[in-house]
Amino acid sequence: MKSAADLQIITYPHPTLRYQAKPLRKVDARLKEIVDRMFELMYEYRGVGLAATQVDLPLRLFVMNSTGRQGDGQEIVMINPVISRPRGNEIAEEGCLSLPSIHGNVIRAKTIRVNAFTLDGQEINQDFSGYEARIIQHETDHLDGSLFIDRLKEGSELEIQGELEQLEIDFESRQRTGSLAEDSQLKADIAAWEAAYC
Ligand code: NI
């Protein structure tokens, strides 16, 4: 299994991005290192949220900081998040670190209730609204194998077709040249992580 320092952000169409992450049953020192590394990658690539599936881990957790700046705002870790009580609708542009250079308008609930656990095992049971609610919905989608491009209006899908095809070509060539593991190896890695944490 990879160490935390080796984790990197994976990009579309990597199959783990379509994986339904399993609930986490254990938190240990290595998992804390993974969370630190996820924040590091999120800041490095100027994101505001990062889900475990985006670093090729099949674990139900994500990190976020709505300011996107280290040392500013609040760093939030959500383990096994469950969203309920969606209220209102809001449309806004989204992007994703796993879909570089692609943006699109997505409708999300304006306010949500979130139930989750922190890294220390504290229960979160809180309402979020606006930008934070949007980030939580986007990251929870990742844990269900869903991407924001799945939620674009028909028609705006066509506008990003060229970019998606380019990402597909890049991915295939990386897999062909061996700089990316074969699908069978990716599946074995996922099984090992699940055996350890889920
Ligand atoms: Ni994303």
Ligand 1 midpoint to CA 154 (Å): 20
Q: State the pLDDT confidence band at 56, using cuts at 50, 70 and 90.
A: very high
For 145, other C-beta atoms within 10 Å of its C-beta total 16
Ligand 1 midpoint to CA 72 (Å): 21
Q: State the pLDDT confidence band at 1, using cuts at 50, 70 and 90.
A: confident
Q: With 90 as the cut, is the pLDDT of residue 180 above it? A: no
Ligand 1 midpoint to CA 53 (Å): 10
**CA separation, residue 189 to residues 135, 181, 185, 195 (Å):** 27, 10, 6, 10
Ligand 1 midpoint to CA 64 (Å): 11
Query: What is the per-residue DSSP string for 25-41?
Result: ----HHHHHHHHHHHHH
Residues, CB-to-ion distance under 5 Å, ligand 1 = 96
Ligand 1 midpoint to CA 51 (Å): 7
Q: State the pLDDT confidence band at 159, using cuts at 50, 70 and 90.
A: confident
Ligand 1 midpoint to CA 112 (Å): 18
Q: State the pLDDT confidence band at 183, using cuts at 50, 70 and 90.
A: confident
**Which fold, 4-197?**
Peptide Deformylase (3.90.45)
Residue 80 is predicted with a pLDDT of 98
pLDDT in tens, 8-54: 999 999 999 999 999 999 999 999 999 999 999 999 999 999 999 99
Q: With 80 as the cut, is the pLDDT of residue 122 above it? A: yes
Q: Which residues are catalytic?
A: 139
Residue 54 is predicted with a pLDDT of 98
Q: Burial letters for 170-185: b for 16+ Cβ neighbours within 10 Å, e otherwise?
A: ebeeeeeeeebeeeee
**CA separation, residue 116 to residues 43, 112, 147, 188 (Å):** 23, 13, 21, 28
Q: With 80 as the cut, is the pLDDT of residue 155 above it? A: no
Q: State the pLDDT confidence band at 79, using cuts at 50, 70 and 90.
A: very high
Distance CA 76, CA 4 (A): 19
